[in-house]
């Protein structure tokens, strides 16, 4: 997965991890909820992108 990211992608992943870590430092339960939401959004986006690519025959 990481071989397909460019520098901006790495920066985005880093910001997400740092953001969840900052929240976890103060409120671990809230951080777990945020992490679960982020994983859910990522899975939904991945599924939508794969479906769209299938429509275009890629």
24 burial class (0-12, 13-18, 19+ CB within 10 angstroms)?
middle
CA–CA gap between residue 58 and residue 53 (Å, rounded): 5
> How far does the chain reach from its first CA to its final CA, in angstroms?
18
Q: What is the mean pLDDT of each run of 10 residues along the chain (58 residues)?
A: 73 88 92 92 86 83
Map out the domains of the chain as residue ranges.
2-55
Q: Look-up: residue for tokens 């953001």?
A: 19
């Amino acid at each position: 997965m990481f071989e397909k990211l460019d520098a901006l992608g790495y920066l985005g992943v880093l910001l997400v991890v740092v953001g969840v870590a900052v929240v976890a430092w103060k409120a671990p339960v809230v951080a777990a909820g945020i992490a679960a939401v982020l994983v859910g959004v990522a899975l939904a986006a991945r599924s939508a992108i794969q479906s769209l690519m299938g429509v275009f025959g890629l």
